[in-house]
Amino acid sequence: MTTADELLRGVVHCENRERLSERLERGDSLRIKFGIDPSAPDIHLGHLVPMRLLRRWQLRGHLPVLVIGDFTARIGDPTGRSVTRPQLTVDEVEANAQTYLDQLFCVIDRGQAEVRRQSEWYDGFDLVAVLRLANTATVAQLLQRGDFDQRMRSEQPIGVHELFYPLLQGYDSVAIRADVELGGSDQLFNLMRGREVQAAYGQPPQDIVTVPLLEGLDGEKKMSKSLGNAVAVADRPTSQFGQLMSLPDPLITRYLSLLTDISENDLARTESELQQGLLNPRDAKADLAQQLVSMLHDPAQANSAREEFFRVHRDRDLPSEIPEVAVSMQNRWDIRELLLAAGLAKSKGEAARLVQGSAVQLAGERVSDWRQPVALHPGAVLQVGNRRVVRLIPS
């Protein structure tokens, strides 16, 4: 495999591939731009896809230039949104950026990267500069972007400031003299715009590389925290494991190929075994989850997360660690009050409904009627369903 093949494996779009391959083969050291959106500090598995590729480039001697979008974060990237995001304060953005970088540097080498902030060049941007930048594109060109076009047609609002987003992001490439820009495939328009902006400022246009967007746990929409279908990098191992086990079966191989170092052969084998029913999807998913948790934390924690999961969900055992809640040890508890006190229900009405739906167990016994008072013994386990479990201790 050539260097270019290796560095472009799995990419969705590459522009201009010939030129880029040539430069890679020649061994040029390239400045590869990677934009960071500090409006969302929580990195999830979806972010890992470009980051892993960035790491491969870094290992080949190219320099990641991390551009913190501290300025555009205050605008809100309209990508895929029908509603404008709330604008963030400078402090919030800075705190988010720091969190983001800390997590990013778990994947790429901090020493071999450059970190830049948009505010370096935008804080001094005056109106003349703004108009010059605006003059690099026409409204029609900007409206070609898919989501703008869609919003126009469905009579949704488009803020003028949103129109500037691609231009500002494009100018970042001018400011840092990017040779290549890496991003998710939803960024294609913005990245392409960067080429035009650079050309307008007399720079050679950057090459661009886009990677696939990872689908979230719902199996449909792209992974995003606000959609609630994301696995956060910083989340606890047991929680990550469980979330990954809820992944729809068809996505198993997708995750394997985008998030692990699995070889083409092994991937093909797993795929066909799943198809022929030789491999239980549950086990394939457990292996995947274990691998990913190992990567995000460490193998030992991944292993115990796996054991814990099977213990609770397959074998229907109690979790090994049960949070304790102190309550008074009276003999005639109203089960609704008890559920409320234990934090397992938000209201008495909800508590009554849970009991009615036979979800509640106290000391291993199913509670069938909320009208019946219950007696309590120290250390009794109260649970709602399989996952919400609490041990009651005397207060």
* Chain positions contacting RNA, by CB under 7 A: 155-158, 218, 228, 238-239, 241-243, 245-249, 280-282, 285, 309, 313-314, 336, 346-350, 352-354, 357-359, 370, 384-388
Taking the complex as a whole, the smallest distance from the CB of residue 47 to RNA amounts, in Å, to 20
Buried b (16+ CB within 10 A) or exposed e, 232-256: bbebebbebbbbbbebeeebbbebb
Min CB(225)–RNA separation in Å: 14
Nearest approach, Cβ of residue 388 and RNA (Å): 5
Token pair listed for 223: 């992974």
Residue the block writes with tokens 């919400």: 388
CA angle centred on 52, ends 48 and 56, rounded to 5°: 170
**Do strands 180-184 and 63-68 pair parallel, antiparallel, or not at all (unpaired)?**
unpaired
Minimum distance from residue 73 beta carbon to RNA (Å): 21
Least distance between RNA and beta carbon 230 (Å)? 12
CB 190 within 8 A of CB 147: no
Min separation Cβ 17 and RNA, Å: 37
Measured from the CB atom, the residue of 76 and 170 that comes closer to RNA is 76
In the bound state with RNA, the residue whose beta carbon lies nearer, of 349 and 378, is 349
Instruction: For RNA, give the closer residue by CB, 159 or 204.
Output: 159
Q: How far apart are CA 351 and CA 338, in angstroms?
A: 9
Residue 143 identity (one-letter amino acid)? L
Comparing CB distances to RNA, the nearer of 15 and 308 is: 308
Q: Which two tokens stand for residue 120?
A: 């370096």
- Indicate the residue among 196 and 287 with the shorter CB distance to RNA: 287
For residue 74, the SS3 value is helix
Smallest distance, RNA to C-beta of residue 385, A: 3
Residue with tokens 């989501």: 147
Residues 6+ apart with CB under 8 A from 389: 318, 319, 322, 323, 381, 382, 383
339's tokens: 């559920």
Which string of b and e fits 291-302 if b means at least 16 CB within 10 Å? bbbbbbbeeebb
Contact of 20 with 207, CB cutoff 8 Å: yes
Q: Which is nearer to RNA, 4 or 163 (CB)?
A: 163
- CB closer to RNA, 154 vs 265: 154
